[in-house]
Amino acid sequence: MKIYLYIILASMLLFAPSAFGQNNITINADQELSNINHHIYGHFAEHLGTGIYEGVWVGEDSEIPNTEGFRTDVLEALKQLEIPNIRWPGGCFADEYFWMDGIGPREDRPKRINTHWGMVIEDNSFGTHEFLRLTELLDAEPVVAMNVGSGTPRELQQWIEYMNYDGDSDMANLRRENGREDPWGVKYVGVGNESWGCGGNMRPEYYADLYRRFATYTRNYSGNEIFRVASGYDSDRYWWTDTMMERAGDMMEGLSLHYYTIAGPNWQEKGSSIDFREDEYFSGLKTALRLDEIITGHSNRMDRHDPEKRVAMVVDEWGIWTDPLPGTEPGFLQQQNSMRDALIASLSLDILNRHSDRVRMANIAQMVNVLQAMILTDGEQMLKTPTYHIFDMYRVHFDTKLLQTHINVADYEYDGDSIPTISLTASKNDNGQLNITMTNLNAQEAQVADITIRGQDVRRAHSGRLLTAEEVNAINTFENPDNITIRDFDQFSLDGNHLSMTLPAKSVVVLTLE
């Protein structure tokens, strides 16, 4: 009797995924769930620290090589990401920004104090024309966050008229005087940012009414249809979503959500971006995985009021937020970007993709030099972060169909706690190609993934791309900017519709099948 028990226990252990790092995945290629909108891969550029000044804009007279005042190296690097949209000018900055400060001859523009971010002087040399030129150079859609906290509906109305009207009005003519004949046709506008906090400290009932008032004046000029994004809450304050949907849902096209990952114990001790070990690696990943629960919670509230999912969820700030780098101005939110952060990006993007029936736009915070940035600069120097490479690898999912997957994967266990080792997105593009991005979160062990593709014959796999590093806290530096970079990946075999791959510890892989 005893011997049978041992045999049963042994075979249970043998087939239990957690014991041997065995991971079984089925991709149903004929089960298309939702469209993965390319706007999920959007970015955010706030007037914060060196996010704009120095990071993107240096002015035409700078010694740093530039194109019309924009850093050429940064432009070239960003072009490769095919950035779908950029949100600007904040963030908290947006609710203290008066757009007329940032138009006209630069030498005449007023100097203001950036009260949120280091009390530095904002000279307004980067304003509406500069931002919209940047989006043109990058072929990205602008997302303009309007000032509700300290602005007026009239300012909002005139800003939109200035940007979008092609007729003979004072605002359109002012735009022409400032050198721009054609309207830009800005579609996406935010109507308030964190209106429960830095955007006015409002209650949802009050903000819902104020939102309705401001949203009334977001006019559709010259055939351009505005898409309005209302301010949502961060993390799990679901009642805000309920109130906004109930009271103002009919006047919005999108409702935002912010979610920042903190690897340390709390907001006062967020943890270092360089000096951490497996404990804050694990806690960072675990906290990032909560995005799934948070989106589900807000989605459920939105479903109550909008079962057709007309209103998009717009996750317009997400990413890891660490303690500022030692020796930097705390208000500049400067942090390094490690292999851990690349994995936080890939698993967050997987979550956003999985919710793409409701999440149709998102913006990582932020694009350059601030928080989880794509690019870091120092004077003339520039580097691409590991997170940049994730955004490069994930481009395969732009405007594709999310495929249904079933996963039975091992646990990554640490200090008595565990998370699923593997995160993935499988999608199908218009040419019928299947793209798989797969992340192994385990810091120590490689994982074998056995993948069965159902519903479509697979003939070949293109050679893959891999991002990994020796250590979880490995970073790119100006001395060694390609320490973490994309490499070819060939640790896979395809046998009919069965794909087997070996994912190195702490790695992300992208593979195309057809």
Amino acid found at 426: A
Indicate the burial class of 403 (C-beta count within 10 angstroms; 0-12, 13-18, 19 or more). buried
**Shortest spacing between CB 316 and ligand AHR, in angstroms:** 9
The residue among 257 and 510 lying less far from ligand AHR, judged by its C-beta, is: 257
The residue among 49 and 183 lying less far from ligand AHR, judged by its C-beta, is: 49
Residues 139-198 touching ligand AHR, rule: CB under 6 A, are 193-194
**Shortest spacing between CB 142 and ligand AHR, in angstroms:** 18
Residues 366-425 touching ligand AHR, rule: CB under 6 A, are 366, 371
Q: What is the dihedral of CA 266, 338, 63, 77, to 10 degrees?
A: -120
The residue among 193 and 241 lying less far from ligand AHR, judged by its C-beta, is: 193
CB-based burial, 97-110: b 16+ in 10 Å, e otherwise: bebbbbbbebeebe
**Shortest spacing between CB 160 and ligand AHR, in angstroms:** 21
**Shortest spacing between CB 426 and ligand AHR, in angstroms:** 31
Q: Which of 95, 122, 242, 317 binds ligand AHR (CB under 6 A)?
A: 317
Residue 269 bears catalytic tag: no
User: Pattern of binders to ligand AHR over 234-263, x per CB under 6 A?
Assistant: ------------------------------
| Region of residue 432 (phi > 0: left; psi between -120 and 50: alpha; otherwise: beta) | left
Question: What number of chain residues touch ligand AHR (CB under 6 A)?
Answer: 10
**Shortest spacing between CB 401 and ligand AHR, in angstroms:** 31
Set 96, 161, 280, 317: catalytic member: 317
User: Pattern of binders to ligand AHR over 94-133, x per CB under 6 A?
Assistant: ----------------------------------------
The residue among 193 and 273 lying less far from ligand AHR, judged by its C-beta, is: 193
For residue 342, give Cα distances in angstroms to 190, 336, 403, 440: 28, 11, 23, 12
Cα gap 137→121, rounded to integer Å: 27
Per-residue DSSP letter, 225: P
**Shortest spacing between CB 319 and ligand AHR, in angstroms:** 8
The residue among 94 and 351 lying less far from ligand AHR, judged by its C-beta, is: 94
Query: Does 294 help bind ligand AHR (rule: CB under 6 A)?
Result: no
**Shortest spacing between CB 379 and ligand AHR, in angstroms:** 24
Cα gap 144→97, rounded to integer Å: 11
**Token pair belonging to 277:** 């070990």
Residues 28-47 touching ligand AHR, rule: CB under 6 A, are 46
For residue 161, give Cα distances in angstroms to 90, 217, 287, 455: 20, 10, 42, 50
Give the start-end residues of each E strand in 104-217: 112-114, 120-122, 141-146, 188-191
User: Pattern of binders to ligand AHR over 4-23, x per CB under 6 A?
Assistant: --------------------
The residue among 92 and 359 lying less far from ligand AHR, judged by its C-beta, is: 92
Angle at 257 between CA 146 and CA 145, to 5 degrees: 10
Q: Which three-class secondary structure string do you get for 37-50? A: CHHHHEEECCCCCC
Cα gap 113→122, rounded to integer Å: 6
User: Pattern of binders to ligand AHR over 60-99, x per CB under 6 A?
Assistant: ------------------------------xxx-------
Give the closest residue to 253 by CA, choosing from 294, 291, 215: 215
Name 417's bridge partners: 414
Set 54, 141, 194, 253: catalytic member: 194
Indicate the burial class of 125 (C-beta count within 10 angstroms; 0-12, 13-18, 19 or more). middle
**Shortest spacing between CB 128 and ligand AHR, in angstroms:** 19
Secondary structure class of 67 (helix, strand, coil): strand
The residue among 99 and 259 lying less far from ligand AHR, judged by its C-beta, is: 259
Tell me the residue nearest to ligand AHR as measured from the CB.
91
Q: Which of 230, 365, 409, 434 binds ligand AHR (CB under 6 A)?
A: 365
Cα gap 84→22, rounded to integer Å: 37
How many Å is the Cα radius of gyration of the chain?
24
The residue among 199 and 249 lying less far from ligand AHR, judged by its C-beta, is: 199
Amino acid found at 371: L
* Number of helices followed by number of strands (H, E) in the chain: 11, 26
The residue among 96 and 242 lying less far from ligand AHR, judged by its C-beta, is: 96
**Shortest spacing between CB 48 and ligand AHR, in angstroms:** 6
Residue 329 bears catalytic tag: no
Please report which helix (H) or strand (E) contains residue 407, including its range: strand 400-408
Would you name the residues annotated as active-site residues?
A: 194, 317
Write out the residues near ligand AHR by the rule CB under 6 A: 46, 90-92, 193-194, 317, 365-366, 371
